[in-house]
Structure 1
Amino acid sequence: MPIPAPNLYPAFNIIRLSHVVFGVTDLAKSRHFYVDTLGLQVTDEDDSRIYLRAMEERGHHCIVLEKSDSATVKSLSLKVFDEGELDKAHDWFKEHGHPVEWVERPYQGRTLRTTDCFDVPIELYFKMDRLSPIHQQYALYKGVKPLRIDHFNLFSPDVDKSVDFYNQLGFRVTEYTEDEESGKLWAAWTHRKGGVHDMAFTNGQGPRLHHTAFWVPTPLNIIDLCDLMATTGYVSNIERGPGRHGISNAFFLYILDPDGHRIEIYCSDYQTVDPDLEAIKWDLKDPQRQTLWGAPAPRSWFEHGSLFEGLEPVESQLKATPIVAP
């Protein structure tokens, strides 16, 4: 199935991904991981939630850690261009049969809660409390020196369906992997903000969240994090990498938080602003698509993901086999 033609004039204007709400079972352990090890900044916290931002971000939060009985993903959030776009989004989702609800969220203005084509909980907003810049407060930099949240990657039971849905929202495909035998998509990378992706979709039991990614200044920051994690009790939390992806050209490291939520540390992809930028196609059997260099991905990377709260994943339709480390 060919990728859809880019939808350059969607019904409403999403500008980028914004934040994720993780259900975590131990706030103290999660705080140590995200703050003391990765280097995210606490913007507020109480006995039930911790709000975090990265060093370049002016919005109040990019991750919310919420005390929960089980490790789940409670929502993925997207920022729209202005207040009027929220009303357009409300009407579009309602017209297309998706549940819509205006919800109250701390530190945010009007927030629309809805779902995507696989019932993934999506929240859209325009206004979030703005904080003073800290990107030049170098005494605050620690851990991997995370600059900003970069993207989400989701396991999808039908990548073609996911790509078609998000294309309706204006997400443009930058790169994709196709199974030559079936002609179906194995994976696709789609964006709004002009990088390789805001939302990516990987074939697998889903919907589940594969990972949330953070952009860092250089590959050396990733090496520093490996040294730090290896000597502070987190060596077993390093799942894959460091290495370089063929797709996106990014330098990467995949790690797991104390609850198993996967985080990618990421840098050096490329600009995709041009509206007529051609998507790059990769063959599923090409070993350099997922790893330009570095060790192949372990089996866990293809099988483990975070559950969305209240959703039961289903098996994927495409049964092609990726390249797995022995």
Structure 2
Amino acid sequence: MIDHPEPVYDIAQLGHTELHTPDLAASVAFFTEIYGLTLVGETPGAAHLRAWNDDVLSSLTLTAHDEPGLGHLAWRATSPQALHRRVAALEEHGVRGWWHDGDFGHGAAYRFVGVGGHLQEIYFDTEKYVPTPDTTPALPNQPQKFAPRGAAAAHIDHINLLVPDVAAASRFQQETLGFKLRERLVPAGRDEVGAWLSVMTKAHDLALTKEPAPTQGRLHHLAYSVPETSDVIRAADIFLENDVFIEFGPAKHSRTQGFFLYVYEPGGNRIEVFTGGIHIFSPDFETVTWDTESQGRGTAWGMPVPESFHSHATPPYVPAGAEVTA
């Protein structure tokens, strides 16, 4: 009989993220007017936003900074007890994080730096969104009234981080926070270059991609989902009409099988509109290992992957001694 480790289900979801932007006003305008989020609060140097189907008050903070990139990402635990179990697991793993009293929209959180250099936190107490008379939905099982604006991003979905050692970063998330490795990319004769992990039944809440530069802590992209494939196509038209550069898509991923579209927001961060993706209900799902792209193609239907998708990340990497150009 094979001895399987006890699965951990202490992390429920990607709760929120913080993105740095060198142009806060332009980033806020993009996310509210074009991407379709709603501004729900402001604090000095920061704006807090939500998507119409997020049940929490805020899922995204934009913070003024001299360069773009990830401020931090936050995982919500399934209970107060689960939060403390994961903190204990982190500390047993040798992680020395720290508690803080909370931030806009949520309570106490434990912050730490993960393998790969990204600032992460876990928390439980959160402020739920309370609709106003104007945003009260007709159906009580929706957080708010559906009144689409721009691409009408529905809720926060996943994040992709660049890491120097994909296998090590993947093991860390699995061993300390209970992530399940769903798919991985290991080209013949090379180290692992991609991993897709989730905490519950989704195709992925977290993607890890091989960092191409001698640095760490960088962001590849942040994704919000929309309900239908047609919503992704509609988003492409909205980006076109608003002079937003479309980097990649619409198309279908091989890994995760999600339908996607990638753009850059004005601060420089890559943002995805995503829908679909496989859902995993089997408790003994076996990790799918890819050794190459499917039939030599980078996407399910053969759309080529642009070079920028492998090179652009935030913050930009500037080699020591290199001249910075505006």
For Structure 1 versus Structure 2, the TM-score category normalised by the shorter chain is 0.7 to 0.9
Q: How far is 1:287 from its partner?
A: 5.0
**d(CA) in 2 for partners of 1:78, 1:181:** 34
> Partner residue of 1:22?
19
Report if the CA contact (8 A) 1:19-1:78 is conserved: yes
TM-score, normalising length: structure 2? 0.86
The yes-or-no answer on 1:170 pairing with 2:178 is yes
Tell me which of 216, 219, 230 is aligned to 2:229. Answer: 219
Q: How far is 1:288 from its partner?
A: 5.9
Give the counterpart letter for 2:63 in structure 1: E
> Partner residue of 2:201?
194
The yes-or-no answer on 1:74 pairing with 2:67 is no
Q: How far is 1:37 from its partner?
A: 0.1
The yes-or-no answer on 1:253 pairing with 2:251 is no
Give the counterpart letter for 1:222 in structure 2: V
> Partner residue of 1:111?
109
Segments of 5+ residues of structure 2 without an aligned counterpart are 132-136, 320-326
Tell me which of 274, 295, 298 is aligned to 1:266. Answer: 274
Q: Which digits, 9 at most, give the CA deviation of each residue in 1:206-235, with x for residues without a partner?
A: 44211111110112112222112212222x
> Partner residue of 2:311?
303
> Partner residue of 1:322?
none
Q: Which digits, 9 at most, give the CA deviation of each residue in 1:169-193, with x for residues without a partner?
A: 21111122112223x3221110003
Tell me which of 224, 234, 240 is aligned to 1:230. Answer: 240
> Partner residue of 1:120?
118
> Partner residue of 1:129?
127
> Partner residue of 1:293?
301
**d(CA) in 2 for partners of 1:265, 1:8:** 34
Tell me which of 28, 35, 38 is aligned to 1:41. Answer: 38
**d(CA) in 1 for partners of 2:164, 2:207:** 13
Report if the CA contact (8 A) 1:254-1:263 is conserved: yes
Distance 1:288 1:125, change over 3 A: farther
Distance 1:280 1:307, change over 3 A: same
Segments of 5+ residues of structure 1 without an aligned counterpart are 314-326
Report if the CA contact (8 A) 2:129-2:143 is conserved: no
Moved more, 151-160 or 285-294: 285-294
Distance 1:287 1:33, change over 3 A: farther
Q: Which digits, 9 at most, give the CA deviation of each residue in 1:74-120, with x for residues without a partner?
A: 10100001112222233222232222111131221111111212231
Report if the CA contact (8 A) 1:244-1:294 is conserved: no
**d(CA) in 2 for partners of 1:258, 1:148:** 20
Distance 1:63 1:137, change over 3 A: closer
**d(CA) in 1 for partners of 2:115, 2:157:** 22
Moved more, 136-145 or 95-104: 136-145
Identity of aligned residues (%): 28
TM-score, normalising length: structure 1? 0.86
> Number of residue pairs matched?
303
Report if the CA contact (8 A) 1:13-1:85 is conserved: yes
Report if the CA contact (8 A) 1:196-1:271 is conserved: yes
**d(CA) in 2 for partners of 1:161, 1:245:** 24
**d(CA) in 1 for partners of 2:185, 2:20:** 31
The yes-or-no answer on 1:240 pairing with 2:248 is yes
Report if the CA contact (8 A) 2:297-2:304 is conserved: no
Report if the CA contact (8 A) 2:297-2:303 is conserved: no
Report if the CA contact (8 A) 1:19-1:76 is conserved: yes
Report if the CA contact (8 A) 2:49-2:60 is conserved: yes
SS in 2 for 1:165: helix
Give the counterpart letter for 2:163 in structure 1: S
Distance 1:159 1:272, change over 3 A: same
Distance 1:275 1:35, change over 3 A: same
